[in-house]
Amino acid sequence: MSDRKLTLTDSESGKTLDLPVISGSEGDPTLDISGLHKELGYFTFDPGYGTTASCKSDITFIDGEAGILRYRGYPIEQLAENSSFLEVAYTLLYGDLPTKGQFAGFERNITYHTMVHEKLNTFMQGFQYNAHPMAILSGVVGSMAAFYHDKLDVNDPEQRELAAKRLIAKMPTIAAAAYRHSMGWPSAYPKNSLGYSERFLHMMFSVPAEPYEVNPVAARALDLLFILHADHEQNASTSTVRLVGSTGANPYACVAAGIAALWGPAHGGANEAVLNMLNQIGSVDNVEKFVKKAKDKNDPFRLMGFGHRVYKNYDPRATIIRKQCHEVLAELGKQDELLDLAMELERIALEDDYFVERKLYPNVDFYSGIIYKALGIPTSMFTAMFAIGRTVGWVSQWLEQAANPTRIGRPRQVYTGAGERGYVPIENR
């Protein structure tokens, strides 16, 4: 809280109210409007909560104008260059980069919890073979409360931490099993001699008939994507996790709700939409025609994976992943027309005045979709991949909220329906 304030005066009643200004360690000043209704009888109207701070948090800082993203104060560029995903996960959970000893213990704990209850695998077999992986993921994660109900006291910090570790450890196992279910393959057990991302790739693609060697370039690219997707402040899915958490619900229910929110094409489904768009364009020869369509405000076609609601400049995550994207394509030597098409779209977006002036640069969803395709991950799994990385952010935000509980979330509304009217018996209608 600072000494600054904004004074409101109601012209009808003549009443005034001082709104204190809350200043965080960084970022824009924020008005404390908690006394607005009590003192003046008003609520605020903010569709989409674009100018509303729903909580205080120490976890992630974003400056969209400057293109800044930091986890616990550490610039995303430094974490992406120097850290593994699990080291970033530790940092998000506990607030500081781990020592060697702390990280060794954390990695051991995560590895220990990678297997899922065998009956969860049985439960998964009940889904239709062509069910979307996100439907399976949300259903299975929600059901985890039935399998780990003995350790679900959200008022116990140790039990909260255990649930967080279980979710981080088991999400790749569940996601890989959802993919294998769609392929008609048996579930693959986690291989604990491998690292986090290597283990996931092994669970995805290994088969009993022959050995599977994880490509280190593919594993590093996946690890980097998990880092970049780990947290992003109060986005739709994270806000959903916090809103459900404010009711006192168990962490599995909260994260299942977050998965459902992430599934939306405007959120986690954006990278899936990028590949669908590329399929729609179809060929490098068609790029110019579709770029013209994108520039026509009367044409419904939109280029997916360009620009960002938060970042008004270049998405800092896209800067990082662009380099990795080109390295993956070069290493794997993929000959694919859709990948060639994507690279041509990237070239145009970085050079064409229309895109440059509007700052419609390729974002992280654009590059992540290309990398996933190059790694052989099917489009239907793209959002599930996002969920694996974002689970760390969800549980970090849930832990922070649980340690500092607030009132149950209860947004208001502006009612626009009919006024009071009398009931009419059905025979008189």
What letter would DSSP give residue 116?
Answer: -
Higher per-residue pLDDT: 217 or 3: 217
* Confidence grade of residue 142 (pLDDT, cut at 50, 70, 90): very high
Residues 320-370: tens digit of each pLDDT:
888 888 888 888 876 667 778 888 888 888 888 888 888 888 888 888 888
CB 352 within 8 A of CB 129: no
For residue 297, what are the contacts with CB-CB under 8 A and spacing of at least 6?
none
Mean pLDDT, range 86-109, rounded to an integer: 98
DSSP category for residue 194: S
Helix or strand or coil: residue 300? coil
State mean pLDDT over 163-189: 94
Give burial (CB, 10 Å; 0-12/13-18/19+) of 124.
Answer: buried
pLDDT of residue 335: 65
To the nearest whole number, what is the mean pLDDT of the chain? 91
Of the candidates 60, 51, 58, the residue with the CA atom closest to the CA atom of residue 28 = 51
Q: Above 60 in pLDDT, residue 1?
A: no
60 CB contacts (<8 Å, ≥6 apart)?
69, 70, 71, 72, 92, 231, 232, 233, 393
Q: Which fold has domain 5-53?
A: Rubrerythrin, domain 2 (2.20.28)
Check residues 272 and 115 and name the one with the higher pLDDT: 115
Q: Strand runs (DSSP E) across 142-301, as ranges?
A: none
Positions marked catalytic: 308, 365
321 touches 225 (CB < 8 A): yes
CA distances from 425 to 27, 252, 328, 418, 421 (A): 58, 46, 69, 18, 13
pLDDT in tens, 285-314: 898 899 999 899 899 998 888 888 787 777
Q: Tell me the average pLDDT across 55-61.
A: 95
The CA distance from 354 to 359, in Å, is: 9
Q: Name the least confident of 80-84, 222-226, 240-244, 271-275.
A: 271-275
Cα–Cα distances in angstroms (integers) from residue 344 to residues 207, 274, 352, in the given order: 35, 14, 12
Identify the band that residue 2 occupies on the pLDDT scale cut at 50, 70 and 90.
low
313: left (phi over 0), alpha (psi -120 to 50) or beta: beta
pLDDT of 96 strictly over 60 = yes
Q: Residue ranges per domain, the chain? A: 5-53, 74-264+379-403, 270-374
Which comes out higher in pLDDT, residue 335 or 127?
127
Residue 149 has pLDDT above 70, yes or no: yes
| CA 412 vs CA 43, 234, 280, 409: distances in Å | 8, 19, 41, 10
In this structure, whether the domain defined by 270-374 belongs to CATH 1.10.230.10 is answered with yes
Tokens of 417: 């329906």
Which tokens sit at 92? 């998000």
Residue 364, helix vs strand vs coil: helix
Q: How far is CA 428 from its chain centroid?
A: 53
Q: At what angle are helices 251-262 and 133-147 packed, to 10 degrees?
A: 170
Q: What pLDDT is attached to residue 41? A: 87
8 A C-beta contact, residue 179 and residue 378: yes
Q: Which of 41-45, 127-131, 195-199 has the highest mean pLDDT?
A: 195-199
| Closest C-alpha among 232, 240, 272 to residue 138 | 240
Report which DSSP code applies to 149: G
Angle (CA) 177 264 358, round 5°: 125
At residue 362, the 3 state secondary structure works out as strand
Instruction: Measure the CA–CA gap between 332 and 335, rounded to whole angstroms.
Output: 9
Q: Which helix (H) or strand (E) element contains residue 31?
A: strand 30-31
Residue 203 Cα distances to 97, 185, 265, 272, angstroms: 28, 11, 26, 21
pTM over 0.85: yes
Q: Given a cut of 70, is residue 229 above it in pLDDT?
A: yes
Helix (H) or strand (E) holding 373: helix 364-374
Q: How many Å apart are CA 36 and CA 43, to the nearest integer?
A: 7
**Interior angle at CA 229, CA 264 and CA 364, nearest 5:** 80
pLDDT at 241: 98
- How far apart CA 382 and CA 364 sit, in angstroms, is 13
CATH annotation of 74-264+379-403? 1.10.580.10
What's the average model confidence in pLDDT over 88-107? 98
Nearest to 243 by CA among 391, 384, 234: 234
DSSP helix/strand/coil, 22: strand
Q: Which of 50-59, 383-392, 400-409 has the highest mean pLDDT?
A: 383-392
Token pair recorded at residue 272: 């899936």
Give the pLDDT mean for 170-196.
Answer: 94
